[in-house]
Structure 1
Amino acid sequence: MITVQDRLGRMVRQAQAQGRIPAVSAALHRADRPLWTCTVGGTGTDRSLDADTVFRIGSVTKTFTSVLVMQCRDDGLLDLDDPIGRHLDLPAHGELTVRRLLSHTAGLQREPHGDVWDTLRVPDVEELLTDLARVERVLPTGRRYHYSNLGMALLGELVARLRGGTWAEVLAERVLVPLGLTSTGATPGERAATGYLVDAYSDEARPEPPTDFGAVGPAAQLWSTAPDMARWAAFLADPAALDPAGTVLTPATVDEMRWPLTTTDETLWAAGWGLGLILVPQPGRVVHVGHDGAMPGFLAAVYGRRGGDGTAGAMGCAVLGSSGTGTEVLDLPHLLLAAAAEHDPAEIEPWRPGPPAPAQLRGMLGRWWGEGFEVVFSWHDGTLRARGAADPAGKPPAVFAPLPDRPDVFRTVSGREAGELLRLTRDERGAVVRLHWATYRFTRHQETFDGYDFRTGS
């Protein structure tokens, strides 16, 4: 009998062989199972390859910097719509907002001034900021997605200035230590694998030179292990499970980061971008959230899974490889997450009876009509909810919270019409006879607008 661990391990070995990757390390984190790891290949050093081997994770670093920025926002140190020049003294481009830089919609050029990828000479912070006068706004702000390492480097310096330390110091104190990411840091250490360029026409693997990315570090500097990164991916997907006290970020803030602000391709909507996070839609109302990374000699892909049948809590996957050309690494986390959910799905929690709806709401539960469409209001898990009668089973309901100072008025806290008010209108006997949700009228039976008295509102 083939176990799910056998199946996942075979997928890793196949990717390593097909991609001709000297070393691959993969890990799968989920709340209901022990950590799963798999390594294939060798480190290129005297140390054997294992789950503790450290790889460069490249642009996965950006997810950490983005979390640090959101911490500053939550602590009142900045607003996402602040121009960055309000907090950093910049010779140019100070009007670009924090939100635009996080979502790669600021229009700023991709790299710092100079031929960084030709010389591998990276500026220090002072040079990076001074040279802003020499870099381009390659697109109008807000026009479209345009990836920028420079923009993320500026956000890293913003965090460092606001917190009064270096970017690496702030990251360790405020994210790595609280989440127990003990193998993640800005330097490789003695457990690092060697990164390679694998020759396209032979089996030669040439070592890539080590690089320190200086002031661009907040965009690409970090090193880590697959278990640490699987845990990080699980945090991005399900922060309440790994950080129940909200020490790093509240679930609401991580949810804000996951909301898509732009797409990476105008015709093929295969991936979107939130606040520093890549969002990859999957079949069955599932989304994978995380980031890819590429540096000389290394590729990394780190994603958490949200939604869909079989998805466990705190489900995250990381695949790290020691080849800059082994692109199989980039697809593998998505395949492993899907296979784990399909072949080892989370247990189905049994339904249990709960307390009744509050007396003042029982009479309003059931079917209502608005604009010719039927909506069902219900009470589940202690909250008032609404779903379209024709909604597919996996679509989340709208969830309402009462306003304590306004009886019969609720705020939509998630789902359809999030943020809008729901108002209940009662007759002289106290029965709910009409609803207004986002100002649209709902009645117990289908009605045309002809029957509505616009003078009296009834």
Structure 2
Amino acid sequence: MSVPDSRVHEHLDRLVRRVQADARVPAVSAALHRADRPLWTRTVGGTGTDNPLGPGTQFRIGSVTKTFTAVLVLQCRDDGLLDLDDPVGRHLDLPAHGELTVRRLLSHTAGLQREPFGDVWDSLRAPDADQLVAELDRAERVLPTGRRFHYSNLGMAVLGQLVARLRGGSWAQALTERILTPLGLTDTTVTPRPTAATGFLVDAYSDEAHPEPPTDFGAVGPAAQLWSTATDMARWAAFLADPAALDPAGAVLAPATLEEMRWPLTTTDETLWGAGFGLGLILIPQGERVMHVGHDGAMPGFLAGVYGRRGGDGTAGAMGAAVLGSSGTATEVFDLPHRLLAAAVEHDPAEIEPWRPGAPAPAALRGALGRWWGEGSEYVFSWHDGTLRARGVADPAGRPPAIFTPLADQPDVFRVVSGREAGELLRLTRDEAGVVVRMHWATYRFTRHQETFDRYDFRAGG
């Protein structure tokens, strides 16, 4: 039986209040979204204006904006407007760096310098679209392409221009029409509402909180412009983790495409391997085959952490957390979404679904079920949820099985659609009576008994 909501909420509340007090954040807004419980929200502090702080208060979310731009780019790919391995110059007329691919820009492995030309963080004047493009020849390639992760607001700004060009409007229009409206993110906007919180720099040696100047990021907006609420961002995080639950028709993005975005393309720190980066998404492993996917954000006076949770025992469907803070230095904000997600699972895990009998395996496949040996190791082939599956007997608990789907024109040949050897083929071989006597998986031979590669059968003695 789950812990009563009041006790769970009290625990989550204390986590938020502790960060607000210890990190000295003028305002914190947090939210937790999950498919099996009502939305949880908590706000602590004040907006810095005459407006009260509440779940509807907007904060700047900074680089969380990049996750929206990344989804817009993948929408273009799915609509056939580009290929991820296209050089960006194929679609934009650029004076330099047009050879960098869309995939490299999305994964921050293009080697492009971090910011547009000029001291934008000193002047707080961002370029417009024409200036951004015109001055690309003054921007450096600071690392060889593909060498390593190097974060680049400039690269994401270029992708925003790419989306605008392919959609025939502005980045903001595409964002509203293709993501915000379909997902009901009505409190996410390009410019702040009058009721938005004020961002502050909190003095390191006193309790003074000085308001930061408002900034418009211009053509770099696709990297960091958006304002939102914790409620909207928790929903967005849940979408990134479990799109089928929030967008069952795939109107915004197909679940398979988001799965592609979540695949790690690089590590962000080669000495620690504590986080990876996919296509516009930060991936932070939590142990026990649990992954948090999302992004952090920072702009003058604001920090944000927005992450969804995938995998692990007790994780609910559509589970996402967001924490928004009105201090530019309270980095504890970044860790709090992960702590909220972990605490929710620990103190209020998802219900265990009862097992129910299902349909039998097709008659032609029943002879393929059971134990097989390949490469000296033992595997179990089984039929569950309408699919043929295989797991290594020595696989750790929680490792997903390989899942096969038959080829339409070859009933005894299957494609691995997920898990071990994804993309490879499994081929069944039958004897004259139609009994499956041998299999080949990714060309490796599988037999009913353990054999050496030259077919010495230990059970048969040769």
Correspondences of 1:385-400 after superposition (within 5 Å): 385-400=389-404
- Would you say 1:64 and 2:68 are equivalent positions? yes
How far the C-alpha of 1:41 sits from its partner, in A, is: 0.1
* 1:374-400 Cα deviation digits (max 9, x unpaired): 111000000000000011221110000
Match of 2:460 in 1: none
Match of 2:291 in 1: 287
Among 383, 386, 405, the residue aligned to 1:382:
386
Instruction: Give the whole-Å Cα distance in 1 for the aligned partners of 2:335 and 2:379.
Output: 39
* 1:216-247 Cα deviation digits (max 9, x unpaired): 00000000000000000000000000000000
TM-score (norm 2): 0.97
Instruction: Give the whole-Å Cα distance in 1 for the aligned partners of 2:287 and 2:103.
Output: 29
Instruction: Give the whole-Å Cα distance in 2 for the aligned partners of 1:9 and 1:415.
Output: 38
Correspondences of 1:371-450 after superposition (within 5 Å): 371-450=375-454
Correspondences of 1:147-158 after superposition (within 5 Å): 147-158=151-162
Match of 1:117 in 2: 121
- Would you say 1:73 and 2:86 are equivalent positions? no
Instruction: Give the whole-Å Cα distance in 1 for the aligned partners of 2:306 and 2:182.
Output: 19
- Would you say 1:13 and 2:38 are equivalent positions? no
Match of 2:139 in 1: 135
Instruction: Give the whole-Å Cα distance in 2 for the aligned partners of 1:33 and 1:266.
Output: 38
Correspondences of 1:155-234 after superposition (within 5 Å): 155-234=159-238
Structure 2 counterpart of 1:406, one-letter code: Q
Q: Structure 1 segments of 4 or more deviating over 6 A?
A: none
- Would you say 1:41 and 2:45 are equivalent positions? yes
Match of 1:348 in 2: 352
Correspondences of 1:96-115 after superposition (within 5 Å): 96-115=100-119
What secondary structure does 1:245 align onto?
coil
What secondary structure does 1:268 align onto?
coil
Instruction: Give the whole-Å Cα distance in 2 for the aligned partners of 1:102 and 1:133.
Output: 20
Among 290, 293, 313, the residue aligned to 1:309:
313
How far the C-alpha of 1:451 sits from its partner, in A, is: 2.3
Instruction: Give the whole-Å Cα distance in 2 for the aligned partners of 1:23 and 1:327.
Output: 14
Structure 2 counterpart of 1:40, one-letter code: V
Instruction: Give the whole-Å Cα distance in 2 for the aligned partners of 1:135 and 1:26.
Output: 38
Instruction: Give the whole-Å Cα distance in 1 for the aligned partners of 2:218 and 2:92.
Output: 18
Among 18, 26, 31, the residue aligned to 2:30:
26
Instruction: Give the whole-Å Cα distance in 1 for the aligned partners of 2:138 and 2:11.
Output: 52
Match of 1:455 in 2: none
Structure 2 counterpart of 1:55, one-letter code: F
What secondary structure does 1:408 align onto?
strand
Instruction: Give the whole-Å Cα distance in 1 for the aligned partners of 2:146 and 2:135.
Output: 23
- Would you say 1:89 and 2:116 are equivalent positions? no
What secondary structure does 1:6 align onto?
helix
* 1:67-94 Cα deviation digits (max 9, x unpaired): 0000000000000000000000000000
Percent identical residues: 81
TM-score (norm 1): 0.98
Structure 2 counterpart of 1:304, one-letter code: G
Structure 2 counterpart of 1:17, one-letter code: A
Instruction: Give the whole-Å Cα distance in 2 for the aligned partners of 1:136 and 1:392.
Output: 46
Instruction: Give the whole-Å Cα distance in 2 for the aligned partners of 1:252 and 1:123.
Output: 35
- Would you say 1:268 and 2:272 are equivalent positions? yes
Match of 2:247 in 1: 243
* 1:314-347 Cα deviation digits (max 9, x unpaired): 0000000000011110000000000001100000
Structure 1 counterpart of 2:202, one-letter code: V
Instruction: Give the whole-Å Cα distance in 2 for the aligned partners of 1:392 and 1:448.
Output: 24
* 1:262-317 Cα deviation digits (max 9, x unpaired): 00011101000000000000021100000000000000000000000110000000
Instruction: Give the whole-Å Cα distance in 2 for the aligned partners of 1:301 and 1:449.
Output: 51
Instruction: Give the whole-Å Cα distance in 1 for the aligned partners of 2:441 and 2:75.
Output: 33
How far the C-alpha of 1:450 sits from its partner, in A, is: 1.9
Among 435, 451, 455, the residue aligned to 1:451:
455
What secondary structure does 2:47 align onto?
coil
What secondary structure does 1:442 align onto?
strand
Instruction: Give the whole-Å Cα distance in 2 for the aligned partners of 1:160 and 1:79.
Output: 16
Instruction: Give the whole-Å Cα distance in 1 for the aligned partners of 2:340 and 2:377.
Output: 40
How far the C-alpha of 1:179 sits from its partner, in A, is: 0.2
Instruction: Give the whole-Å Cα distance in 1 for the aligned partners of 2:191 and 2:380.
Output: 55
Match of 1:145 in 2: 149
Among 260, 263, 275, the residue aligned to 1:259:
263
What secondary structure does 2:454 align onto?
helix
What's the C-alpha RMSD, in Å, of the aligned pairs? 1.0
Match of 2:324 in 1: 320
How far the C-alpha of 1:449 sits from its partner, in A, is: 1.6
How far the C-alpha of 1:120 sits from its partner, in A, is: 0.5
Instruction: Give the whole-Å Cα distance in 2 for the aligned partners of 1:449 and 1:95.
Output: 46
Structure 1 counterpart of 2:218, one-letter code: G
Structure 2 counterpart of 1:98, one-letter code: V
* 1:6-64 Cα deviation digits (max 9, x unpaired): 00000000000011000000000000000000000000011110000000000000000
Structure 2 counterpart of 1:129, one-letter code: V
Match of 2:459 in 1: none
Gaps of 5+ in 2: 457-462
Match of 2:338 in 1: 334
Instruction: Give the whole-Å Cα distance in 2 for the aligned partners of 1:359 and 1:342.
Output: 43
* 1:403-434 Cα deviation digits (max 9, x unpaired): 11012000000011000000000000000000
How far the C-alpha of 1:364 sits from its partner, in A, is: 1.0
Structure 2 counterpart of 1:415, one-letter code: G
* 1:92-128 Cα deviation digits (max 9, x unpaired): 0000000000000000000000000111011101000
Structure 1 counterpart of 2:229, one-letter code: T
